[in-house]
Amino acid sequence: MKTLEPIPLEQIRAAKKRIAGNVLRSPLIRLSVSDAPAEIFLKLENLQPIGSFKLRGAANAILSASDKELERGVWTASAGNMAQGVAWYARQLGLGCSVVVPENAPDTKLTAIKRLGAGITKVPRKDWLNIYKTHAHEGMEGLFIHAFSDPDVMAGNGTIGLEILEDLPDVNSVVIPYGGGGLSCGVASTLRALNPKIKVYACEVETAAPLAASLNAGEPVEINHTPSFVDGIGVHFVFPEMFSLARQLLDGSLVTSLDGIVSAIKIMAERNHVIAEGAGAAPVAAALAGLAGAGKIVCVVSGGNIDAEKLAKILGGDMP
Amino acid sequence: MIERPSLNEFKAAANNLESIIVHTPLIPYRGGDNDAKILLKPEILQAVNSFKLRGVFNAVASLSAEEKSKGVSTVSAGNTAQALAWSARYFGISARSIMPDTAPLPKIEAVKAYGGIPVLIPISEVFRFLQEHLWEQEPYSFIHPWTNGQVLIGHGSLGLEIMDDAPDVDTVFIPVGGGGLLGGVGSAIKAVNPSVRIYAVEPEGCPSLRSAVDHGQPITVECKTICDGVAVPYITDEMFPFLNELIDDVLLVSERAVRAAIRSILWHNKMLAEPAGALALAAALQVPLTHRGKSVCLVTGGSISSELMMEILQEERGQ
C-alpha cells in the first residue's frame, strides 16, 4: 500500500493560484441561530459551480497535468459530485471525459453527468469500489482523477483551509464531512501547517460511520451501514491508505444523527436561506448538538445537491 | 427632493460599515448557459440576513450621542426591524419597530431575539403613520426606512462592492419597494461610472414606480403580488423625482416569472430567495443579452415561508 503524507503547504498555495478564477472563493457566514452552543460559521461550498467543493480538487488535478497526460482526456470513478466536478471542468477546457459508475447509481445523477457531456460506463458495485484501490479500469484511458486520495485533489481541497484562516484567523474548530477522506485530510493539511492548535474534526452520520469505528479500533474495520438520504458520505469501510492519514491529521470523528441532519438542513434553509445536501449539513448538525464544543466553529458545507422530493419533505418537517 | 449623495459620502459610509457587514460575493447564475453573463449579488448572505443592515446601521451610527440616547424607532415589515434591533444592541440603546400585524411570526421573533420591541398595528395604520409623519409625535429618534439619507448612503456600499468586483458591468437590476435600495445602490454605481445602466424592477401586480414614471408623478396603485418584500403601493413625493432621474428604465415581471426564478436560484445556485429577492433575476432573464450586456442582479432577501416554498417545489414536479 502506498503511504499518503499530509499535503505540503506550498502545494496547497500553488493550487490556490492555479484554480483561482475557476472556482468561487466561497463566503464564510454566521449561522443565524442565536441560542447555539457555539459561534457557528458556514463555509458555503454548496455555492460552487455544480453545487459542491469537488471542483477545487478536479480543477487542480487537471491543471497540474501536462498536455501529454491530457491528450486522451480524463476519467474518474464516481456516481455523484466528483463525476460532475470532473465533467464540468473537462467541458470548460474542451477535454474528453469518461465516468465509471456503479450499476445501481440513481438516474437523476446519471442525467446530470450526461448533461455535462461525459461518457458513462456502468459496472458492478464491487468492481467500481475496486477502482479506488487499483486506479485503473479496462477500456478507460487518459488521466485518472481519483475522487479523494490523489494528492493534487487533496491540495485543491486544502485551499478551503487557506480561505477559512483568511476570513476567521481565530477559529477554534473546523468540522468536515468524511466520505472518502480527501476533503477532511486536504483541509486538515492546511490547518495543521498554519495553526496546530485548531481542532479539526471529521463528521459522519450514525447510520454509516466507519471512521469513528476504525479510530476506536486503531485499524480500519468494516461496519454495518444503512443507506439513507445522506448519500454524499457513508460507506461500510474506510480506505486503508486514507485511514493512516486521517488518524494522523484529524482530532476524531463526530457522529451525528439523521434527525439532526434533517433539522440542520431545515434551519440553514429557513435562517440562512441556503440549500445543503445531507453530507453538507452533517457538520452543522454536529456543531448544533454541541459535539464540537464551544468557541468559534467553522462547518464546511460541502454540497447542496439534494432531490426536490427530499428537500420538500425536509422543509415540511419530515424525514425523507 | 432628495439630493444624490457624493462618491465621498458613499465611501465614508462603506468604511464605517466594513467591520460590520459581509462583503457579499458575486456568484455566476448557473441556470443558463455559460455565456449568460448574469452575476447574482446574494444579500441573503448578509449579516442579519438582509441588505437592510447596511443602511440602518449607517443611519444609527450617524446619530449624535443625544439622539442615540432617546432610543431609535422605525417602520418595517420585518427586515428593517431586525437590522434596527441588531444595530441598537450594538450601541447599547433601545429599538422600537412599528410592524404590520400581518408580519411573519419568525420575523417578529427575530426582532425580539435581537432585543428589539415590535409594536404590531394594522397595515393601513402603518402606511398612515408614514404618510402623516406620525413619528414626529413620538420621543424616539426615527429612522425612516426609505427616505432617511443615511440609510440610502449605507445601502450604497452594496453598489461600491459591485463596482469593485465587476468594474466592467453593463447593467444592474434592482428591485423597488420604497426605493431606498434602488436610490442608494443606483446612485453609488452612477457615481463611479455614469454609463452603467440601472434597471428598476417591480412585480406586474404592484407597479408603483412604473405608474409614477408613466404619469409623471406618484400615484397610488393596488398591490396584488406574492412579492411581499416590495409590496409598497406608493413612491413618496420626495423619492420620485430622485429615482426618476436616476434610472434607465422600469421593468415589470409576472408572478409566474418570479416563481420560475425562485426555482432556478434554488436548483442551480443552492440559495432560497423570497419572491422580491428573485425579481431582479426574473427581469434579467427576459432581456436579451445584446440589450443588457454583463449584468448584476441583486438577490435581496430569502424570508420565504416553508408553505410557499413547498408549493413552488411541487409546481416544478408537476411540469
| Same fold for the pair B7-49+149-318 and B53-142 | yes
pLDDT of residue B316: 64
Contact at CB, B310 and A27, closer than 8 angstroms? no
Residue B318's CB is within 10 A of a number of other CB atoms, namely 6
- Chain A residue at shortest CA distance from B273: A273
Query: B166 with B296: CB under 8 angstroms?
Result: yes
Strands (E), A38-159: 39-44, 74-77, 97-102, 119-123, 143-144
pLDDT digits (tens, 9 = 90+) for A77-109: 997 889 999 999 999 999 999 999 998 887 878
Mean pLDDT for the stretch of residues B81-88? 95
Contact at CB, A304 and B270, closer than 8 angstroms? yes
B183-193 b/e (C-beta count within 10 Å ≥ 16 → b): bbbbbbbbbbe
Last residue of a domain, one of A144, A165, A196: A144
Choose the closest CB to A29 out of B22, B270, B272.
B22
- Chain B residue at shortest CA distance from A266: B306
Last residue of a domain, one of A113, A144, A175: A144
Does residue A199 share a domain with residue A78?
no
Contact at CB, B271 and A275, closer than 8 angstroms? yes
Show the domain range for A118. Answer: 55-144
Domain presence at residue A3: no
pLDDT digits (tens, 9 = 90+) for B197-252: 999 999 999 999 999 999 999 999 999 999 988 988 989 898 999 999 999 999 99
What is the percentage of chain A residues whose pLDDT exceeds 90?
A: 79
Domain presence at residue A1: no
Mean pLDDT for the stretch of residues A122-128? 91
Contact at CB, B25 and A27, closer than 8 angstroms? yes
pLDDT of residue B1: 73
Contact at CB, B313 and A311, closer than 8 angstroms? yes
The answer on pLDDT for B318 being more than 60 is no
The answer on pLDDT for B90 being more than 60 is yes
Domain presence at residue A149: no
pLDDT digits (tens, 9 = 90+) for B152-197: 999 999 999 999 999 999 999 999 998 999 999 999 999 999 999 9
pLDDT digits (tens, 9 = 90+) for A280-291: 999 999 999 999
B47 interaction partners in chain A (CB closer than 8 Å): 29-30
Q: Is A10 exposed, middle or buried (0-12, 13-18, 19+ CB in 10 A)?
A: exposed
pLDDT of residue B51: 93
- Chain B residue at shortest CA distance from A49: B30
pLDDT of residue A2: 67
Contact at CB, B310 and A44, closer than 8 angstroms? no
pLDDT digits (tens, 9 = 90+) for A182-200: 999 999 999 999 999 999 9
Domain boundaries, chain B: 7-49+149-318, 53-142
Does residue A174 share a domain with residue A285?
yes
Does residue A187 share a domain with residue A292?
yes
Domain presence at residue A130: yes
Does residue A169 share a domain with residue A127?
no
Choose the closest CB to B113 out of A29, A34, A49.
A34
- Chain A residue at shortest CA distance from B315: A308
Contacting residues for B133 by C-beta, under 8 A, at least 6 apart: none
Does residue A89 share a domain with residue A186?
no
Choose the closest CB to B45 out of A29, A275, A316.
A29
pLDDT of residue A237: 87
Does residue A61 share a domain with residue A36?
no
In this structure, what CATH number is given to the domain that contains residue A234?
3.40.50.1100
Q: What ipTM does this complex have?
A: 0.91
Query: A186 with A57: CB under 8 angstroms?
Result: yes
The answer on pLDDT for A1 being more than 60 is no
C-alpha cell at A274: 441556503
Please state which CATH number belongs to domain B53-142.
3.40.50.1100
Domain presence at residue A278: yes
Domain presence at residue A92: yes
Distance CA B78, CA A300 (A): 30
Does residue A206 share a domain with residue A64?
no
Contact at CB, B271 and A315, closer than 8 angstroms? no
Mean pLDDT for the stretch of residues A298-308? 94
Does residue A198 share a domain with residue A123?
no
Whole-model pTM: value is 0.93
- Counting the structural domains of chain A, the total is 2
- Determine which of A17-26, A76-85, A224-233, B284-293 has the lowest per-residue pLDDT on average: A224-233
Q: Which of A87-91, A234-238, A271-275, B169-173 has the highest mean pLDDT?
A: B169-173
Distance CA B128, CA B131 (A): 5
List residues of chain A with CB under 8 Å from any CB of chain B. Answer: 24-27, 29-30, 32, 34, 44, 46-47, 49, 51, 92, 269-276, 304, 308-309, 311-312, 315-316
Does residue A21 share a domain with residue A60?
no
- Chain A residue at shortest CA distance from B26: A24
Please state which CATH number belongs to domain B7-49+149-318.
3.40.50.1100
Strands (E), chain A: 28-30, 39-44, 74-77, 97-102, 119-123, 143-144, 173-177, 199-205, 253-256, 296-301
Chain B interface test: which of A25, A52, A263, A273 (most B C-beta within 10 Å):
A273
Does residue A123 share a domain with residue A231?
no
Q: What is the mean pLDDT of chain B?
A: 93
pLDDT of residue B319: 42
Contact at CB, B25 and A49, closer than 8 angstroms? no
Q: Collapsing DSSP states into helix, strand and coil, what is residue A303?
A: strand
Does residue A212 share a domain with residue A138?
no
Last residue of a domain, one of A115, A144, A173: A144
Does residue A66 share a domain with residue A89?
yes
- Chain A residue at shortest CA distance from B107: A271
Nearest to A221 by CA among A235, A203, A237: A237
A116-133 b/e (C-beta count within 10 Å ≥ 16 → b): bebebeebeeeebbebbe
